[in-house]
Every structure is written in structure tokens, then in C-alpha cells.
Amino acid sequence: MFNSNYELKRKLNIQENESLLKELGLHGLKKGIAADIPNVQIEKKKKRRMAGYNKKTSVITTTPARLSRRLRGEMPIEHFELDDILDDHDRVKQLEIAENKKQEQEIVINNLPNDISVPFTLRSIGTTVWSLGELVKGRGRSKAWSSRGCKYKHPYPIGYRATKSHFGNDYTMGILPPEREGEGPVFTVQHNNTIWKGPTPTAPWTEACIKSRSSQTRVSGPLVSE
């Protein structure tokens, strides 16, 4: 009975104290390690409302965005191959070279003397011509002409003779008839009693220059060394 009265009185005192704390605004104070942490009102997180959107639809047009040159009424672009351009350039260049060569030949022909008598000396090459010889006519005459590689196509007259002085040596050059039928003329170069022969003008001179032991001797242009 005593305990029951005590418990009842205790509850009343607690309720009275809580009422007093509420009036003083001290109700709900924290204790222990949380005593100095202020009460913070945490706002409730608002739910984000998803903004509605309208689905974009692409519009397909029936007319093309780009019109071809043909549809626009324009001429198509011409395409050229590089090889074709180079070939055309080469053809034009060859025609120019051929025309220039023809003009040079005409100038040379127009400047040739009408009458030539021997002997005469060509000072530019130090050669004296003693006999002009005779042109080959009839069958096989094509073999008595210079090759296509020569700048000026010229004949090789049979019986032609000329002399040339080179490094103190006197050389005699000549053109003899073919040794066999169907062959071309024979070209000779003679120094004293030594004679060199060959099927081309260069062949005997090559042998003669080698025998001369000169490193500055020219044979149809290039230098021949020992």
C-alpha cells in the first residue's frame, strides 16, 4: 500500500515537472554527449516532379536536299586522268621539237654553198677533206646512210678521204666499199703504216685512240681513257 502511494506520487511529480519545463521551454533537452548539439529541423525531401515532354518526330520530305548538276540543269564536272594530261603535253612537246629541228635543217640547207671544191679545211674540227667520194645508189643504199640517232641524217660516200692532226699525229680517214654484199661501207683510220677498220665511223677511231694512250681523246663525243 505504501509503495503504491509512492509510485503514484512519483508519477504526479514527474508530470508536474514536465508541465513546468514545457512552460519554460526547456522540455526535450538532450543529455550526455548530445547535450550541446542543438536541435535541427530537417526538412523533408521534396519529391522531384518529372517534367513532361513531347516526343519529337522527324519530318521526311519527298524532295532531295541536294540536287545533282543534271537536275539543276548544269554541265557535269569533267574529270581528267593525269596520264592523259602528260601524254598530251609530251605530244605537244614532240611536235615543237620536230618543228624546231625542221627549221634548223632548212637553215643549214639554205646556207650550204652551191659549188664545193676540194681540198677544204673545217677549222671547227681541224679536218681537211681531200675527196668527197660518191653516193651509193641502187640496192643497199640505205646502209650507206647515218642512223636515226644522228642529229642530221647524212650519207657515207664511198671514196671519201680526209686528214686530221691530233696530239702531233696525222691520221687519214676514209670510206671503202662493202667487203660483202648486203653489208655497209667500211670505215678506216690510218696512222703511218697502221690501219684500223670498222663497220661504223666510231669503231676504227676507238682503236686508234686506245693506241694513242691519250686520256683526253674524243670519240664521237665521249672521252676515251687509257
Q: Give pLDDT tens digits for 68-113.
A: 666 677 766 666 666 666 777 788 888 888 888 888 878 877 877 7
- The alpha helices in the chain, defined as continuous H runs, are 2-24, 82-110, 202-212
* The three three-digit cell numbers of residue 140, written as one number: 643497199
Residue 108 grid coordinates? 643549214
User: Which residues does 173 contact at the CB level (< 8 Å), separation at least 6?
Assistant: 127, 160, 161, 162, 163, 164, 187, 188, 189, 190
- How many angstroms separate the first and last alpha carbons of the chain? 153
Residue type, 157: P
Range with lowest mean pLDDT among 5-14, 60-69, 174-183: 60-69
Does the predicted TM-score (pTM) go above 0.75? no
Range in 9-23, 87-101, 118-132, 212-226 with the lowest mean pLDDT: 212-226
Backbone angles phi, psi at 19, to 5 degrees: -65, -40
Summarize pLDDT for 146-164 with one digit per residue, the tens: 888 787 788 999 999 999 9
Which triple of cell numbers denotes residue 23? 512552460
